[in-house]
Structure 1
């Protein structure tokens, strides 16, 4: 994000460069006296170069700059453009540095860049107020200078008319020489005139001065002395102009050359045969400076075109980044760093051409503003979500704290585990706040579970003892399966009762023990039911003869009793099977109950088969 004050500084510098270009002296292609007058007139319109003391002045604080601005604004001193531009640049350079340092300090302290507010600067407001006074002061001076130029124009036109009259009166030339010299001195003392009349004015003045000298009939010694004196002064000016070729500061050399042209213009003519020679020498020295000055601005323009191309590329790059999708905070922060890096690179690039400088900046700023505007809106929405999530987590913290001292171990454990599951479903909150809430929530949960663990320490020892007892019962069941006896069923029943009488075992061992126990029980009951049923059927067949001897109706009565027993068992089986359809086997406890009922159903079915075989045996005996 480019600051408007920084942009103003750039534009101010740019205007100064453009003005330098506009005031540049003509190139070496100029060939006549008119060219010299044009160069000299340019000097009249150009702001004086600041003195060396001003150029060397370095300002280290806005207060120093403000003091100097106030001094200029409230004194009779005429404001110099170069110094004013220097003061403006120095002030905003320090101002921007201080502002960037304040922003960096705010961000390093954990602040959100989008919420940063610029604090009004009293020194900046005071600086702007003084600059307004200076602007009004310069406007007033400009108007006074324009009025003075018009007055100077009238005076110089009057002098030209007087010299013209002298140049057209040969008989009075010698007599008017002193008056002529006085008019020349007066001409020198009159300064700037309107730029639109300067060339014509100088051309006419030079024409009639030379005509007057050509007509002047002084004695040869006076005339030669005058020419010699003028030649010496022009030679000195030529040497000074030639020395400027070694000046490193091209702008300073250009301004110094303008002063030399102004001085050259005020010097009278030299001997007619030397006039062209001395002028060619001075023009040659001027051409060297002009070419260097022109090349300087050509290089500047070339650099500006290069800067425009670089800034255009940065605009495209920033636009591409701004157009990328941001799926979350991480993407926004990554793209923000990329945009800020592009902005930093932008600041290292100099001015673009004047016509495009503002346009390219506005294009770049629009892209940045759009990106940061959308980012601000995203984080505003995100903050609302964070607040909602934080409120939900605070509510869970309060619930956990309310349960942390409970001694209802089972129900409270279930409640806290439900709170932990709910916690996981809540979205993100800012890291610092999230860590704080999590520590409070976890602390409440840990407090309860540590108390529960301490209270259940003895219970766990008992559970391990129960585990060993139940394993011992399982081993006895395995031994009975391998070596069954006549009282196997009775022994199995006692072991089952013993197993069920043993208390809880460790939770982690519960399922494994359950599967091992019921596996051996199922095998024993299956084998035991078959063998018992077979033995019972044989015993029943052996007793049938004794029943038959009791009377002819004895077998029928026994058969009717068995049929009723069969129907009763079948009804009981049907009832069990119906009940099984309503049981929920989603829990371990539910599974255990279903397995037990299935075993009972199977035993009843085995009994049904035994009764059916007994009925078949009676029917066989009746035959």
Structure 2
């Protein structure tokens, strides 16, 4: 009898140990509502909706909602029903509602700003859907609280009932005689025990140990005939074998959460099933425990994987926060800069939405960090465009003033002065910054129309003078052509012919302004060539005549040649000094204007003539030196 009692207690202890392991494993991952369901605690694990493997049919918390109206309809259905809403579904409804709600607010604000609204005057309008949502959630919260209190009261009542059953079994398991008499009563108490469900979680293990202890004691004391006892053991063995098979089959269940929940129910049935023959107790228990270990490990690994995935999500979201913070720090000088970086941030926000939840402790913090960086960027963007709008308005007023000035000058007949004024207004227009395209196009059209009105009137008045200028251009080109022809011939009387053509050229009036410089250059180039050739030819003749006359000078005496040489040397030094003076003066001339260029050309021609004269004097000096030899 003592061996039977010891074996019975051993089996009870093993079963209690398994029960403790299951409850312990479940409690590691449970949320705040875990204690409401004792061994079914894992049902209320607080996981993100997107990671739940259940379908919409098996788990309402997995359902997707596309509008706030759908969520409110579901809340009203929960309020009107007799069911107690699951926390997971309520949290899911709340999360999805505010995700849609905030997205709707952002869209409204963006539309307001895109339509030119003032960011400082933007106000968040009350949302009727949110008020209804809050009201329904309040009712649901009260409903859940009421259900929770009722459940707690029921647990306390169940605890008292089970404690009473334990006391009755304890009293029945004192002597073999009493055990034999009370066998039927024990069966009734066991059935009653099975029908009593939830008790306070902190009392569950102790309650089960005491119950198992006294039931085992009762069976050990029971003095039934061998046949009846073996029949009871056989039935219990068949039932526990089926429970082992069911637990082993759970290893093939793809839904890990569902498998874990089903295992808890199997454990409950295993506890409520009576003992088996002593020689089979350890064997059947070992089999059931092994199958349970497989499911518990899968369940634990599942949530470890979820936690690792959440850590990866936190890393990804931290990187996105750093990207947005980096973009927000960059300086944006133009609208294009702001728009470019706005697109970058919007792309990052879209990427954020594709990443699941971070660990619960960090999920809100990382979102607040991301939202703060985005708000900082868009806040400064709003301030930039506010200032830009003010600048646009200021620029528009400046351009309006120029339009009025142009209109006031458009009917003027003071052609030269008004032309200068309008050209000055056009230059000033270019210095004024941008304005909005719509008003900018209108202002430009008005400004251009006023300018065109004046210049068209001026051009009509000066049409005849322009025709005369073109005739003068043709006359001067003809004279230049004649000069070029004379420059190619070595003819007598060239100087007189050139002088005559030069006088004709100077008598011709103005030419078109655009052709003036080109014509001036062409004219002086041909004159320079002619005069240079004439000068060289004349100088050569003068030197030859000087050589021929040297004998006559020498006849006047030896001093006559020396005196002539001295005079030429003084002339040579005088020419040299004049050349230096002209060359020094060239350095002080301003060549930025067309007039400055003309003056430089004239001085260069004078310098060249002086150099030619100096060369002529040099040749005369050489002729005297040759004569003295």
TM-score (norm 1): 0.68
| Residue of structure 1 equivalent to 2:434 | 428
Structure 1 residues 233 and 96, CA gap change in structure 2 (3 angstroms): farther
Counterpart pick for 2:251 among 245, 250, 256: 245
The alpha carbon displacement at 1:205 in A equals 0.7
**3-state DSSP of counterpart to 1:52:** coil
**3-state DSSP of counterpart to 1:174:** helix
Residue pair 2:15, 2:271 contacting (<8 A) in 1 also: no
The alpha carbon displacement at 1:183 in A equals 1.8
| Residue of structure 1 equivalent to 2:196 | 190
Question: Deviations 1:592-613 (Å, cap 9, x if unpaired)?
Answer: 99x9xxxxxxxxxxxxxxxxxx
| Residue of structure 2 equivalent to 1:370 | 376
The alpha carbon displacement at 1:446 in A equals 3.5
Question: Deviations 1:67-103 (Å, cap 9, x if unpaired)?
Answer: 1211212333211223324434554565566667767
**3-state DSSP of counterpart to 2:311:** helix
Residue pair 2:479, 2:501 contacting (<8 A) in 1 also: no
The alpha carbon displacement at 1:409 in A equals 3.8
**Cα distance in structure 1, aligned partners of 2:22 and 2:58:** 24
Question: Deviations 1:88-129 (Å, cap 9, x if unpaired)?
Answer: 45545655666677678779x777897887665432332232
| Residue of structure 1 equivalent to 2:22 | 39
Choose 305-314 or 446-455, whichever is displaced more: 446-455
**Cα distance in structure 1, aligned partners of 2:64 and 2:362:** 32
Structure 1 segment 107-506 matched on structure 2, within 5 A:
120-404=126-410, 406-469=412-475, 498-499=507-508, 502=509, 504-506=510-512
**Cα distance in structure 2, aligned partners of 1:487 and 1:126:** 111
Residue pair 2:38, 2:200 contacting (<8 A) in 1 also: no
Residue pair 2:406, 2:450 contacting (<8 A) in 1 also: yes
The alpha carbon displacement at 1:411 in A equals 3.4
**Cα distance in structure 2, aligned partners of 1:585 and 1:278:** 114
| Residue of structure 1 equivalent to 2:550 | none
Residue pair 2:166, 2:214 contacting (<8 A) in 1 also: yes
**Cα distance in structure 2, aligned partners of 1:353 and 1:146:** 30
| Residue of structure 2 equivalent to 1:71 | 77
The alpha carbon displacement at 1:294 in A equals 0.9
CA RMSD of aligned residues (A): 4.4
The alpha carbon displacement at 1:35 in A equals 2.8
**Cα distance in structure 2, aligned partners of 1:412 and 1:104:** 49
Choose 272-281 or 141-150, whichever is displaced more: 272-281
* Aligned length, in residue pairs: 507
**Unpaired runs of 5+ in structure 2?**
1-12, 24-36, 45-53, 535-589, 602-629
The alpha carbon displacement at 1:454 in A equals 4.4
**Cα distance in structure 1, aligned partners of 2:297 and 2:503:** 123
Structure 1 residues 465 and 36, CA gap change in structure 2 (3 angstroms): same
The alpha carbon displacement at 1:273 in A equals 3.0
**Cα distance in structure 2, aligned partners of 1:230 and 1:490:** 145
**Cα distance in structure 2, aligned partners of 1:478 and 1:47:** 111
The alpha carbon displacement at 1:515 in A equals 7.0
Structure 1 residues 445 and 63, CA gap change in structure 2 (3 angstroms): same
Structure 1 residues 55 and 277, CA gap change in structure 2 (3 angstroms): farther
Structure 1 residues 455 and 73, CA gap change in structure 2 (3 angstroms): farther
**Unpaired runs of 5+ in structure 1?**
1-29, 528-583, 596-623
The alpha carbon displacement at 1:360 in A equals 3.2
| Residue of structure 2 equivalent to 1:509 | 515
